[in-house]
Structure 1
Amino acid sequence: MIHFENVGLRYGMGPEILRDLTFDIPQKSFQFLTGPSGAGKTTLLRLLFLSLQPTRGLIRMFDRNIATIPREELPLLRRRVGIVFQDFRLLDHLTTYENVALPLRVRGKDETSYRADVLELLRWVGLGERVNVLPPVLSGGEKQRAAIARALIDRPEVLLADEPTGNVDPPMARRLLNLFMELNRLGTAVVIATHDLTLMDQVEARRMILSHGQLEIYE
């Protein structure tokens, strides 16, 4: 599904932040991306989401070389990837429900076809009573759960999550992990960037350890 070959990234004339990354994200796979702070985990997720271009190397996504994809086609490719940003990126003028439903609205779907699914997912992540609340009123943990629901609502082929349990208590972290695992069982490839060793120990999954700009993979 995703293939990196000798990928490197630098900003301007500075040193390479990521270098010689060669790995695959197979279909229906589940993996944790971990490593020390500043190792480049968020940068790697941005490459996976196509919001950054590498300075060298090959990235293939869904059998296409991203270097040859016309810029206007990138948003269509991105729709096949769900992402949970560490800073949530909710729209403050939209309610919790409207934020979660936004990917479906952008695709032109009729609300009658998705309203029940959005409400059910919000209940599952513990936001059933916060449907009509605006993001400035939500706590950090609630914003995190809303961002996760938004990433999941369109059943992406790949889910990228940047510290998705960083603002929730352990029971909710386990509940969210179960949600990611269920999505994976339904066919979505999952990549979770986290520092949480307790979380990783709850699942038998591949670990991708990023350190000093390079990646080691443990199956």
Structure 2
Amino acid sequence: MVRFENVSVRYGEGAEVLRDLSFDIRPGSFQFLTGPSGAGKTSLLKLLFMSLKPSHGRVELFGHDTDKLCKEDLAVLRRRVGLVFQDFRLLDHLTTYENVALPLRVLGRTEASYRNEVVELLRWVGLGDRLTALPPTLSGGEKQRAAIARAVIAQPELLLADEPTGNVDPAMAQRLLRLFVELNRSGTSIVIATHDLALMDEYDARRMVLHEGHLHVLD
């Protein structure tokens, strides 16, 4: 599903943030991405989402060399990827329900075909009473849960999540992780960036550890 070959990243004329990364992500796999603050976890997720190009090396996603794709083809591939970044990126003029339903609208589905799915998922993440709320009225934890619901609603082939449990209490963190596990069981490959070692210890999953720009994979 994903292949990195000798990938490096630098911003401007600065030092390389990521150096010579080579690894694969297999279909249906589950992995945690961890490392100290500033290690480059968010940069690696951006590479996986194709919103950041490597300064060196080759990134292959779904069998395509991303460097050879035009913007339109990249946009089509991104629809196969679910994404949760720490800034949430909810659309302020849309309700919670509308934000979560957006990926299904983009796929051309009618509201009648997806309404029950969206409502059920929002109830699962504890937002059943916030369907009509606009993002500016949501707390940080509520925005986090809405962003996660939006990322998983279309059952993407690859899910990327940057600290998805960082703004929620331990009980909700466990509930969200169970959601990711169920999504993985249905075939989605999962990459979760987290600092929470205790949370990782509860799951038998591959660990990808970033340290000083280098990646160490622990299967």
Q: Give the structure-2-normalised TM-score.
A: 0.99
Partner SS, residue 210 of structure 1: strand
Identity %: 68
Deviation track 1:165-218 (CA, whole Å, cap 9, x = no partner) reads 000000000000000000000000000000001110110001100011110011
**Bigger mean CA deviation after superposition, 61-70 or 20-29:** 61-70
**Bigger mean CA deviation after superposition, 113-122 or 64-73:** 64-73
Which position in structure 2 is the counterpart of 1:196? 196
Q: C-alpha separation between the residues in 2 aligned to 1:198 and 1:83?
A: 23
Correspondence 1:51-200 to 2 at 5 A: 51-200=51-200
Q: Tell me the C-alpha RMSD between the 2 structures.
A: 0.7
Deviation track 1:29-87 (CA, whole Å, cap 9, x = no partner) reads 00000000000000000000000010110111111111111222111000000000101
Deviation track 1:64-115 (CA, whole Å, cap 9, x = no partner) reads 1111112221110000000001011111111100000011112222111111
Partner SS, residue 42 of structure 2: helix
Q: C-alpha separation between the residues in 2 aligned to 1:127 and 1:93?
A: 18
Partner SS, residue 5 of structure 1: strand
Q: C-alpha separation between the residues in 2 aligned to 1:211 and 1:87?
A: 23
AA matched with 2:50 = L
AA matched with 1:70 = C
Q: C-alpha separation between the residues in 1 aligned to 2:107 and 2:218?
A: 37
AA matched with 1:97 = Y
AA matched with 2:76 = L
AA matched with 2:115 = R
Q: C-alpha separation between the residues in 1 aligned to 2:98 and 2:198?
A: 33
Following superposition, which runs of at least 4 residues in structure 1 exceed 2 angstroms of deviation?
none
AA matched with 1:13 = E
Q: C-alpha separation between the residues in 1 aligned to 2:198 and 2:101?
A: 31
Stretches of structure 2 that go unaligned for 5 or more consecutive residues are none
Which position in structure 2 is the counterpart of 1:36? 36
Q: Give the structure-1-normalised TM-score.
A: 0.99
- Equivalenced residues, count: 219
Stretches of structure 1 that go unaligned for 5 or more consecutive residues are none
